[in-house]
């Protein structure tokens, strides 16, 4: 009889942690997706190698959302793009 009570309590505890585990898993999934997106962006920026392509990229950034353009310029100037 005592074992059943302990099992019930353990199951109750496990159930209460479920939302926490779900949130942690979702956060990890979002971080991985964000890292993948940044790596893809770095590869795409690295493809602008000639002066003409770099001029084109600069023109694109001048027309883009200022916050997004600033972030891309920071990536370029940090030397992340080789």
pLDDT at 11: 52
**Cα 74 to Cα 21: distance, rounded to the nearest angstrom:** 35
In the chain (82 residues long), the average pLDDT of successive 10-residue segments reads: 51 68 94 95 91 94 95 84 48
**Cα 66 to Cα 51: distance, rounded to the nearest angstrom:** 22
Q: Are 45 and 81 in contact (CB under 8 A)?
A: yes
**Cα 82 to Cα 77: distance, rounded to the nearest angstrom:** 10
pLDDT at 26: 95
For the chain, the domains span 2-77
Q: What is the pTM of this model?
A: 0.64
pLDDT at 78: 84
pLDDT at 17: 74
């Amino acid at each position: 009889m005592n074992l059943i009570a302990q099992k019930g309590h353990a199951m109750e505890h496990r159930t209460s942690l479920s939302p926490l585990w779900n949130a942690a898993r979702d956060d990890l999934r979002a971080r991985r997706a964000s890292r993948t997106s940044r790596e893809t962006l770095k590869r795409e920026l690295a493809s602008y190698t000639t002066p003409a392509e770099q001029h084109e990229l600069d023109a694109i950034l001048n027309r883009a959302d200022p916050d997004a353009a600033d972030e891309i310029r920071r990536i370029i100037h940090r030397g992340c793009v080789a």
